[in-house]
Amino acid sequence: MNLESPHKFRGLVGQAHRVAEHFFRPISRKYDKAEHEYPKELDMLAALLDGMNAGSPDAVGAGSASKRGAARDEAPGVRNGGNMSALLGVMELCWGDVGLLLAMPRQGLGNAAIAAVANDEQLQRFGGQWAAMAITEPGCGSDSAAIRTTATKDGDHYILNGEKIFVTSGERASAVVVWATLDKGLGRAAIKSFVVEHGTPGMTVTRLEKKLGIKASDTASISFNDCRVPASNLLGNPEIDVQKGFAGVMETFDNTRPLVAGMAIGVAKAALDRTRQLLKKHCAMDYKKPLLSVSHAEATLYRLEAEWEAARLLTMKAAWMADNKMPNSKEASMAKAKAGRVANEVTLKCVELAGVMGYSEDELLEKWARDSKILDIFEGTQQIQLLIVARRLLGKSSSELK
């Protein structure tokens, strides 16, 4: 088992780290204090990323997180493809700033959703879009199967009705991937995802949320009132397969959950690195000594580093499995659960270890602690991830284990 980052992506990792250090970090506090103000500096960075991806078989970013890339090459052997490159880039960029990454054009979770389930024609058509993802509803939080937004077939269109909340980049993105049910009576199997472009009649951004963290990213509520969407905007297979159930639309999470776990790993690494610097004068950082013979602060830091490493390896495994066309639903949930919890613990403990400096706006530690909380919530809460893992391990269905 090779636990190193793939050699072919080391240039990408280095480049992403430099962007995080020299581009994200200098404007991080500015947009934390200016919530809902669009970071105009990101336009240039997004354009550079588009240029890197043009015609490249090893594209980077959210749109490359797909099992489709692995299907092009059926030759035997281990593959490191779009999921791994997207993950490694996300880790480094979130070492700089999670909110700014989420605010980057064409790097939304909706882009990963399109990459995961769209057909080839849709990939071509929506390739240049910046796509948000709209799942959560006022009466439906972590239980995605309880979605009440409806999509009714009307000739060559679907008519969407419902409300979505907590849509990351919901106002700024050029399109939103909306989860809706074709038939409430058929349960999970009838839930499909639709690309709805901003400006479509019947789609309205109703408010922007004020948040604890990731303030550089806008978070919107969106209503759909008789919103007509072309039938060709339904991602993937339009047929309702009761046997397959929710599996089709859940493929999205198999790709996006490792990315969110990567965000958590990135911000936790930022906190660990900075805390190590701040404690350098007080802690020898001698890893050869047993924990009982070092200070409490030093022992705590070592424990946090071990937890971080475990989360990193789980997440890389989930992405690697996706690149190699392996079922990774359990592993994606394991990575998301572990990384989200670890990021919360690491960032808060680092604030504690740094004392007054950690709690002050003179340091970014307090911001990272606030930013990390959402990473344990969206794309499925900690509790939902543990429930999914339990179902997979015990061979239970969602109706058998709630």
Helix (H) or strand (E) holding 9: none
Report whether 255 contacts 83 (CB < 8 A): yes
DSSP secondary structure code for residue 299 in this structure? H
Q: What's the confidence (pLDDT) of residue 57?
A: 47
Measure the CA–CA gap between 250 and 133, rounded to whole angstroms.
Answer: 13
Q: Residues with Cβ < 8 Å from 174, sequence gap 6 or more?
A: 129, 130, 131, 197, 198
Q: What's the confidence (pLDDT) of residue 335?
A: 98
With CA atoms as reference, report the closest residue to 190 among 254, 140, 227, 234: 234
What's the angle, vertex CA 299, arms to CA 297 and CA 304, rounded to 5?
95
Count the neighbouring beta carbons within 10 Å of the beta carbon of residue 376: 23
As a residue count, the chain comes to 402
Ordered per-residue pLDDT tens for the chain, 402 residues: 678 889 999 998 999 999 999 999 999 999 999 999 999 999 988 887 766 555 454 555 666 666 555 444 455 678 899 899 999 999 999 999 999 999 999 888 899 889 888 999 999 999 889 999 999 999 887 777 789 999 999 999 999 999 999 999 999 999 999 999 999 888 788 999 999 999 999 999 999 999 999 999 999 999 999 999 999 999 988 888 766 656 556 778 898 999 999 999 999 999 999 999 999 888 888 888 888 889 999 999 999 999 999 999 999 999 999 999 999 999 999 999 999 999 999 999 999 999 999 999 999 999 999 999 999 999 899 999 999 999 999 999 888 998
Q: What's the confidence (pLDDT) of residue 117?
A: 85
Residues tagged active-site: 379
CA distances from 97 to 38, 92, 94, 306 (A): 15, 9, 5, 22
pTM as predicted? 0.92
Report whether 86 contacts 58 (CB < 8 A): no
Measure the CA–CA gap between 267 and 95, rounded to whole angstroms.
Answer: 5
Residue bearing tokens 């490191």: 80
Q: What's the confidence (pLDDT) of residue 290?
A: 87
Q: What's the confidence (pLDDT) of residue 246?
A: 60
